[in-house]
Amino acid sequence: MKLEEPVWALGLMSGTSMDGIDGAALLTDGVDILGFGPKRFEPFDPALRADLRAALGSWPGAAGLDTLEARLTEAHAALAGYFPTTEVVGFHGQTLAHDPAAGRTHQLGDGAALGRRVERDVVWDFRTADVASGGEGAPLVPFFHHALARMLNWTEVTAILNIGGVANVTWIDPNVARPGASGALLAFDTGPGNALLNDLMAARGGAEMDSGGALAATGTPDRALIAEVLEDPYFARPAPKSLDRDHFDWVLPRLADHSLEDAAATLTELTAAAVGHASKIMPEAPTRWLVTGGGRLNATMMRALAAQTNLPVEPVESVGLDGDFLEAQAFAYLAVRVMRGLATTSPDTTGARLPVCGGRIFRVETPSPVIAAVSKVRGTAAAGGG
């Protein structure tokens, strides 16, 4: 991989919703986004998904994790096989536990094993260095969001809200040219995303999600419980800040006596109310909210978000982006930044003491024949172009 040239990178993302792996190719030099490539989603097989869920909260060294890590890594390698001409892989891994206050975070996945399996350079373990520098280790995507804003020539302050298992927001001033500069970004987890709602549906509704928010639309939210949740000390903390997936798992037992419709309505409104609270701690109000992640497909949640922010709330597709694969694309972008020694987080995105280039690198000694052929063609084209 030549550091001075744009490369096709592959991002692999398995998030807190734990439904499967997103893979997406991106052409980038680690600063600018120059093109979007193929995308593919591969669901976890039920046994792997169940075992990953059972391992939530586990730290390295826990019994059975070595075997589980090998299975997870192999699932990512299988998906990477659909992107044979990408030259570097950004491998997020599966977050099992996250406790930055104690200086630790755990993303399951063996980047070196993945690199040997797919015969490509791999960047992984994106969070540890940031946490070691006093940061939250999350969110990791704001630098990518800033690059998107610059690519799309935005001029107005915008908030990109990602509603996965946990919801996080990136506040962007695209008029500040460098993502690590003061005033360019502010990022933090807003509160619960889809995790509580999905857990509710799995336990009581016999489904993976409240599709489209149809169930919540027929229920009545428990606003007293929502107000109680918003008294959690997390919401009083200044940004940047981050959450473990199960930080609010105490809420579900409190909904046991509610109808399924009312419980779904409460959790949907809770996500929106937490976002409304987040809007109050931003440097200035954004002109609009763009939503990515599974939450953008929940019409009831989108209506609640518009009511809470009193601003236009649209899916990222409204500006030509793909909300199903934005995070995977982000890890492709971050992988190239790490390969080139560029910062991936800053004091304004994670609270780290200084900008951090976070990620471990596995370098393949001998690239696959496909990668070697692509590199040869590029070299010949570059030579021919003078």
- Among 198, 151, 200, 131, residue whose Cα is nearest residue 36: 151
Residue type, 142: P
Residue 65: φ, ψ to 5°: -70, -30
Contact yes or no for 275/167 (Cβ under 8 A): yes
Tell me if domain 7-138+326-384 and domain 152-319 are identical in fold. yes
pLDDT the model gives residue 3: 60
pLDDT the model gives residue 15: 85
**HSE toward the beta carbon, residue 249, CA cutoff 13 A:** 9
Q: How far apart are CA 285 and CA 270, in angstroms?
A: 21
pLDDT the model gives residue 1: 57
pLDDT the model gives residue 377: 39
Query: Where does residue 191 fall: left (phi above 0), alpha (psi -120 to 50 degrees), or beta otherwise?
Result: left
Q: How far apart are CA 233 and CA 241, in angstroms?
A: 12
Third-level CATH fold of 152-319: Nucleotidyltransferase; domain 5 (3.30.420)
Kindly give the pairing relationship between strand 121-124 and strand 88-91.
Answer: parallel
**pTM score, whole prediction:** 0.90
**Kind plus residue range of the DSSP H or E element containing 68:** helix 65-80
Q: How far apart are CA 257 and CA 247, in angstroms?
A: 21
pLDDT the model gives residue 361: 98
Q: What is the pLDDT of residues 182-228, one digit of tens each?
A: 999 999 999 999 999 999 999 998 998 999 999 999 999 999 999 99
CATH homologous superfamily, domain 7-138+326-384:
ATPase, nucleotide binding domain (3.30.420.40)
Q: What is the pLDDT of residues 278-315, one digit of tens each?
A: 999 999 999 999 999 999 999 999 999 999 999 999 99
Residue type, 10: L
Residues shown for the chain: 386
**Kind plus residue range of the DSSP H or E element containing 20:** strand 20-28
Q: Which residues of the chain have pLDDT under 50?
A: 371-386
pLDDT the model gives residue 367: 57
Per-position DSSP letters for 287-345, written without gaps between them:
SEEEEESGGGG-HHHHHHHHHHH-S-EEEGGGGT--TTTHHHHHHHHHHHHHHTT--SB
Per-domain residue ranges for the chain? 7-138+326-384, 152-319
Contact yes or no for 379/131 (Cβ under 8 A): no
Number of H helices, E strands in the chain: 13, 13
Helix, strand, coil share (%) of the chain residues, nearest 5: 40, 20, 40
- Tokens 């200084």 belong to which residue? 354
